[in-house]
Chain A
């Protein structure tokens, strides 16, 4: 079974540019989550999709961040325009059912550097 795939693995962009991160969850997983780890700090929740619907987007930092999940399959996270403080590692995770944290599968992340 393929795991959670994220693309690109690394991205370096200039301040003010736009970047789109992509996440392909495990097939059949209705739940898809985005997290971010900034400067070696804790991993912070950004938002949660159930199929194509946003279940919880309380962690989105501001309106420069836009997440979509087309047809309940893959998801994209767009940052526009990017700021220096957006640098970090963006993780995607998926789970099949209501999770207690046991069946989360994370992707390897996208390391975003804004210069």
Chain B
């Protein structure tokens, strides 16, 4: 089967850097995506890695190592508004469905 594991909760302070890890087991691999979801809101796309290495988008960066079946999301200069749930996701094999990780609840404290 396919599964993705993430830490359930992470706490950090404003201005800090936090890394959210994701390990995955998939049959076939089509890239790793990251989504942010604020409570009561829509999951929104943050970043995507198809190849190994680092992708940077403003304060957010995402890293992928296909040989280790591992990726992470790096959030820099944390702000209170970054408090949300973060999900990694992979494409579900030959179909277009997304398989999501267990989600990480990030709490940013003053």
Contact = CB atoms under 8 A, between A and B. Distances in A.
To the question of whether A and B form a pair in one complex, the answer is: yes
Interface of A: 3-4, 31, 33, 35, 40-45, 48, 55-56, 59, 91, 93, 95, 98-109, 111
A33 B100 contact: no
Given A42-B103, A48-B96, A99-B96, A106 B31 contact: no
Contacts of B89: 101
Nearest to B94: A56
Interface string B47-87: 01010000000000000000000000000000000000001
Interface residues of B, number: 28
A34 to B, nearest CB: 10
Contacts of A48: 95-97
Contacts of B107: none
Contact of B44 (A44, A98, A106): A106
A98 B96 CA distance: 6
B41 interface: yes
B33 A55 contact: no
A53 B99 CA distance: 21
A75 B100 CA distance: 22
B96 A31 contact: yes
A70 to B, nearest CB: 21
Interface of B: 4, 30-31, 33, 35, 40-45, 48, 50, 87, 89-92, 95-103, 105
B100 A43 contact: yes
A45 B42 contact: no
A93 B45 CA distance: 12
B42 A101 contact: no
B31 A101 contact: yes
Contacts of A106: 35, 42-44
B91 to A, nearest CB: 6
Contacts of A45: 92, 97-99
Contacts of A59: 97
